[in-house]
């Protein structure tokens, strides 16, 4: 399914839910790996033709492509959770994205001694693409606590932080 259609479908499901799941300005997007990249793309002004925008994005181990790095305009705060030893998606690309001057906060939290699968509770292994995949429960817990705190307080920082 194309990314713009995924975004449209997300809003249709949440905003048209019969039990008033959320207000339009309180819908967040989170994704891991390619889903993290989708979360980033969903926050660009390329998606501004839609009447609703996500309140913020939480991108976990995304691919921060050059087109995302050069996109100066985002529609809301972004938090990127990256691992310093990711051999699937280069952390340096996300650092560069974070360092650019933006109209909204963009923060990268980089976990030390972690790799691409730091949030997935599975045995350590080398994946089909040759990537090292190891769960890091401390990083996962910290990430979830950070996300919950950001949603509750609606406070977002800028820059790169190592943990």
pLDDT tens, position by position, 44-86? 876 556 667 889 999 999 999 877 766 667 889 999 999 998 9
Report CA 43 to chain centroid distance, whole Å: 10
The predicted-structure confidence for 106-126, as pLDDT tens digits, reads as follows 999 999 988 888 888 888 888
Report CA 29 to chain centroid distance, whole Å: 8
Which string of b and e fits 72-104 if b means at least 16 CB within 10 Å? eebbbbbbbbbbeebbbbebebbbbbbeeebee
The structural domains of the chain, with segments of one domain joined by +, span: 3-110
pTM above 0.85, yes or no: no
Report CA 65 to chain centroid distance, whole Å: 13
Q: Which CATH architecture has domain 3-110?
A: 3-Layer(aba) Sandwich (3.40)
């Amino acid at each position: 399914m194309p990314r713009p259609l995924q975004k449209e479908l997300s809003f249709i499901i949440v905003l048209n839910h019969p039990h008033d799941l959320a207000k339009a300005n309180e819908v967040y997007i989170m994704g891991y790996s390619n889903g993290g990249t989708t979360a980033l793309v969903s926050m660009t002004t390329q998606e501004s033709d839609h009447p609703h925008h996500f309140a913020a994005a939480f991108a976990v181990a995304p691919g921060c492509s050059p087109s995302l790095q050069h996109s100066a305009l985002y529609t809301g705060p972004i938090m990127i959770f990256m691992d310093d030893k990711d051999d699937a998606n280069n952390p340096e690309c996300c650092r560069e994205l974070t360092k650019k001057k933006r109209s909204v906060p963009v923060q990268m939290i980089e976990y030390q001694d972690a790799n691409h699968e730091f949030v997935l509770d599975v045995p350590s292994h080398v994946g089909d693409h040759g990537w090292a995949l190891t769960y890091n429960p401390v990083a996962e817990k910290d990430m979830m606590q950070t996300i919950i705190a950001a949603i509750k307080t609606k406070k977002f920082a800028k820059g790169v932080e190592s943990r």
